[in-house]
Amino acid sequence: MSVKDSARIVGWVRRLSEIALVGWLLILLLTDTAQAVSRGAGQIPVPVLGVLGIMIYLLRDRYRVAGFCVLLAASAVVSAVHGVFGGMGLPGFAEAGTILLLTVGALRWVRPLRSAVLLALIAMAVLEVSVWVRGGNQGMAIAYGFLFFVAWATAAGIGGYLRYLQERREQTVNAVRRAERLELARELHDLVAHHITGIVVQAQAARTVAEHRPEAVVPSLDAIAGAGGEALTSMRRLVGVLRAEDDASRVPGGALRDLRVLVERFAADGPAVTFDIAQGVDDATLPPGVITTLHRVLQESLTNIRRHAPGAGWVQADLRPAGRGVRLLVRNPRSGADPHVSRLGGGFGLVGMAERVTALGGELTAGPAADGAWRVVAWFPLEAA
């Protein structure tokens, strides 16, 4: 199954679940309407609240908190009116159903968490008070009150669990970004140290040569100025990035041959890989920081293919000039986890790659192509690099 087909299936499953929930609410509304017709005019507010609740549920993405508060206030007002004038039975099922569904959404999406918990507790209080005020005899009020409490507890548990998954994913994403920034800081530190070493060597050579050949000092000064400019550029990127303990065994930068070695190792026990490097792209035109990040993006892309698409028959990769920069494309016929399926977990490798590419002024895109293949495209501006 292609990525396009799997994404379409996931989309239809989401739509069908939404339709099923709305259909369930409409069935509850029909039940409330039938009871209102049989009991007389005093029961009319019950289906009216059901219609209001369904409308608020349909508009929940736009008016999540405000709509929820309006429904709770309307339910409380109807209960207060019944307490004064009477003439009404139990709360409507559509009214209670929408309150429960909106409770799930409040606990999952409302920030901060205290506000969501407060809204959920208010919802439980409104339901229980409505049951006791409108419930008629005490036995029926106890039965329905327990039923609504169990339903509310279930809704609150579902919403709280979804919120836990969401926060866990956000924490993991932040941890991945922080780790990538620290790794990038180490690499930039190595690059700056490399340039500074070159400046020191050139300065020492210029001092030695100046005594015998003063005319040879000018090229050395030009080299010192160029290395200083590159060092300052790297140091600007280093600002704001925390630096962890350095690993002295790591060599700064890298070379394009390291990319070919990586591809050859992957193809030795995996699908066939075609890797082309266009003319005009070489170690001289690419800064070491870009080469290092290209190596990381290619490595992560191949790792994802091995992990999520072990049955892929081939992998295409190429590195070529694009605009005022250079572009790396990695493409395979079958993708990894669909972003809709893995929304609550996974996909952290893409987060780390995007963090590194963006730090160098580039752009990273990953997703299905028109033919169903999965594409990872990383672009770097050579001027910024």
The model carries a pTM of 0.48
Helix axes 45-58, 93-109, angle to 10 degrees: 30
More confident residue, 379 or 206: 379
Q: Tell me which of 3.40.50.2300, 1.20.1070.10, 3.30.565.10, 3.30.470.20 is the CATH number of domain 256-381.
A: 3.30.565.10
DSSP strand pairing (272-277 vs 314-322): parallel
pLDDT tier for residue 75 given thresholds of 50, 70 and 90: confident
* pLDDT at position 234 over 90: no
Q: Which residues pair with 380 in a beta bridge?
A: 326
Domain boundaries, the chain: 3-136, 176-238, 256-381
pLDDT band at 379 (very low <50, low <70, confident <90, very high): very high
Write the pLDDT tens digit of every residue in 171-187. 887 777 777 777 766 66
Please tell me the predicted confidence (pLDDT) of residue 246.
42
Q: What is the spatial distance between Cα 377 and Cα 363, in angstroms, rounded to a whole number? A: 8
Average pLDDT over residues 285-299: 84
Neighbours of 132 (CB within 10 A): 15
Check residue 338 and report its DSSP letter. Answer: -
pLDDT given at position 144: 72
Quote the tokens at residue 188: 């930039």
Total residues found in the chain within this entry: 385
Answer for the pair 42, 35: CB distance below 8 angstroms, yes or no.
Answer: no
- Per the listing, tokens 């005009």 go with 280
β-pairing verdict for 325-332 and 314-322: antiparallel
What's the average model confidence in pLDDT over 87-95? Answer: 72
Q: Which comes out higher in pLDDT, residue 19 or 251?
A: 19
For residue 336, what pLDDT is reported?
A: 46
Least confident segment among 131-140, 267-276, 323-332, 352-361: 131-140
Please tell me which of 66-75, 146-155, 347-356 the model is most confident about, judged by mean pLDDT. 66-75
